[in-house]
Amino acid sequence: MKVREVCSLDVRSCRPDSNLAAAAMIMWEMDCGVVPVVDAKNKVVGVVTDRDICMAVATRPLLASQIRVDQLMRGPLHTCRLDDDIKAAVRTMAGSAVRRLPVLNDAGELAGVLSVTDVVMAAKDSKVARHGELTWTDSIPMIEAICRRPVAKSVTPVAERPVFNLSLA
């Protein structure tokens, strides 16, 4: 089974100079949690997630419309191709602990997004499972790897954290 048979092909993207409010609006309109970030040639240069937006707005004294997408982008970027075997893409997701992969066409341009949900729904399909192409057994290690808690970051004690006055008055 190929990635193209499982991934979402109806995706929208934003540019690195887009602001987080614009990216959030795409997520709202498309009912998704990730927006691929592309350059002028439609080459994926990063992604912005709903969590990225939430954390950026919560930790900065700025509005979402004042924060650019490229201020959040960090590497490495993990992708797959339309014609990749789905199991290879699942291994990439598990090994990288990412929930979503931008999907590229043969020219290296954005073609879609593969999500954990796409994989689980394909594995649930009994026709696929009978053929042994993608099963629940294949998807469980991916989900486990993605959900594994990373080593705790050092945490700044509450008393030492900066206080932002976010009142609009």
Of 52, 43, 50, 51, which is closest to residue 79 (Cα–Cα)? 43
The CATH number that domain 3-149 falls under is 3.10.580.10
Contacts of 15 (CB under 8 A, 6+ apart): 37, 38, 39, 40, 69
pTM value? 0.79
Q: Span 11-32, mean pLDDT?
A: 96
**Domain ranges across the chain:** 3-149
Q: Hey, how many other C-beta atoms are within 10 angstroms of the C-beta on 60?
A: 15
CA distance 9 to 4: 8
β-pairing verdict for 100-104 and 80-81: parallel
CA distances from 61 to 34, 58, 122, 164 (A): 23, 8, 42, 6
* Rg of the chain, C-alpha, whole Å: 18
Residue 74, token pair as written in the block: 């960090």
CA distance 36 to 14: 7
Would you give the DSSP letter of residue 160? Answer: G
Q: What is the pLDDT of residue 3?
A: 94
- Residue keyed to tokens 């991934």: 7
- Give the number of C-alpha atoms closer than 13 A to the C-alpha of residue 65, restricted to the C-beta side: 0
- 86-123 pLDDT, tens digit per residue, is 989 988 998 888 899 999 999 999 999 999 889 888 88
Q: Span 47-64, mean pLDDT?
A: 93
